[in-house]
């Protein structure tokens, strides 16, 4: 017994006529009759009462038809869901992101993606850049958002946003009155920085910028990005941060552009060679919509629909 037998049975049961069923199936009537007989022989009971002028289902045939219909419904659903999975419309994706992105784009991106692909299960994990790199390589997350540069042959990455860097100062700092700040004016200032072990790419970028400006920063405190703002506002020192940090409202803080407009690239990263349709659908969506401010993200989604 195979699906062909079930399809033949369902056609005869619904048509109540072997000739019409054969025409519907595109086969001759004698082979159809033999297939039904083979099915009844395999089952060990009759499906049709042939003693009347019109073909009728036996009580066993009525029950069997109900289950056969459920089989075909389940098969149709399986094909439909498998087709959606093949193009990334279903599945599960674990996404790593930087803490600062909670205030500058990840919420809008995830909301827009869930609207377009409601069946995909997204799992979000706030992680430091290096933690994301390690988690990508050992398979604990599928995609992450990290700062450039990223030099690892096991990972692929694309730039999703280029951000100017700014100087974070206490609001009452003498340099807060300037519209733009040359980095060399910070040579005597104490610095609050993000720990290198948690984000070596960004740490090295800040150090390189300071060296190019002629000094090595005097680091007095290490902290996470969100804590850096509190420490700067409290007067512990100054910091160099991505411009998107301004979306975090913090009293007692001044953010000023840097002369020369140095910038940092935000990357979306994934395991090299990962061809998961769900991942590819997410990457395609990120390329189309990007990490933008709430209104800009909504406009981008609407324009793409």
pLDDT in tens, 23-35: 999 999 999 999 9
Per-state percent for the chain, helix, strand, coil, to nearest 5: 50, 25, 30
**45 versus 100: which is more confidently predicted?**
45
pLDDT at 51: 73
The answer to whether the beta carbons of residues 113 and 120 sit under 8 Å apart is yes
Mean of the per-residue pLDDT values for the chain? Answer: 88
Residue 300 predicted with pLDDT over 70: no
pLDDT at 193: 96
Q: Within the chain, which residue ranges are assigned CATH 1.10.10.10?
A: 3-86
Percent of the chain with pLDDT over 70: 92
CATH of domain 3-86: 1.10.10.10
pLDDT at 89: 62
Query: How distant is the alpha carbon of residue 216 from its chain centre?
Result: 39
Confidence of residue 305 (pLDDT cuts 50, 70, 90): very low
Helix axes of 59-86 and 3-15: crossing angle, nearest 10 degrees: 120
Considering the domain delimited by 91-160+266-304, tell me its CATH architecture. 3-Layer(aba) Sandwich (3.40)
Q: Of 40-49, 73-82, 175-184, where does mean pLDDT reach its minimum?
A: 73-82
CATH of domain 163-264: 3.40.190.10
Taking only the tens place, the pLDDT of each residue in 183-237 is 999 999 999 999 999 989 999 999 999 999 999 999 999 998 778 999 999 999 9
Q: Of 89-103, 206-220, 228-242, 277-291, where does mean pLDDT reach its minimum?
A: 89-103
pLDDT at 297: 41
Residue 296 predicted with pLDDT over 70: no
Half-sphere exposure of 73 (CA within 13 A, CB side): 6
Q: Within the chain, which residue ranges are assigned CATH 3.40.190.10?
A: 91-160+266-304, 163-264
Confidence of residue 81 (pLDDT cuts 50, 70, 90): low
């Amino acid at each position: 017994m195979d699906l062909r037998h079930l399809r033949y049975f369902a056609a005869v049961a619904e048509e109540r006529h072997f000739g019409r069923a054969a025409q519907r199936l595109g086969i001759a009537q004698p082979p159809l009759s033999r297939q039904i007989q083979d099915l009844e022989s395999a089952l060990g009971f009759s499906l049709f009462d042939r003693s009347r002028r019109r073909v009728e289902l036996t009580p066993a045939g009525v029950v069997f038809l109900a289950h056969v219909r459920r089989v075909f419904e389940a098969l149709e659903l399986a094909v439909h869901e498998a087709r959606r999975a093949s193009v990334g419309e279903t599945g599960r994706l674990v996404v790593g992101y930087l803490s600062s992105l909670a205030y500058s784009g990840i919420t809008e991106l995830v909301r827009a993606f869930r609207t377009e692909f409601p069946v995909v299960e997204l799992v979000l994990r706030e992680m430091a850049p290096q933690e994301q790199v390690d988690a990508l390589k050992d398979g604990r997350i599928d995609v992450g958002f990290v700062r450039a540069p990223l030099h690892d042959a096991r990972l692929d990455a694309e730039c999703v946003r280029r951000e100017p860097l700014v100087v974070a100062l206490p609001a009452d700092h003498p340099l807060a009155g300037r519209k733009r700040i040359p980095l060399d004016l910070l040579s005597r200032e104490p610095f609050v920085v993000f720990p290198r072990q948690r984000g070596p790419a960004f740490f090295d970028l800040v150090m390189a910028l300071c060296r190019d400006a002629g000094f090595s920063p005097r680091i007095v405190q290490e902290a996470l990005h969100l804590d850096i703002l509190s420490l700067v506002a409290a007067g512990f020192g100054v910091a160099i941060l991505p411009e998107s940090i301004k979306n975090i409202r913090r009293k007692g803080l001044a953010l000023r552009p840097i002369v020369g407009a140095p910038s940092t690239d935000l990357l979306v990263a994934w395991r090299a060679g990962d061809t998961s349709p769900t991942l590819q659908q997410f990457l395609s969506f990120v390329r189309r919509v990007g990490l933008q401010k709430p209104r800009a993200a909504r406009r981008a989604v609407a324009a793409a629909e």
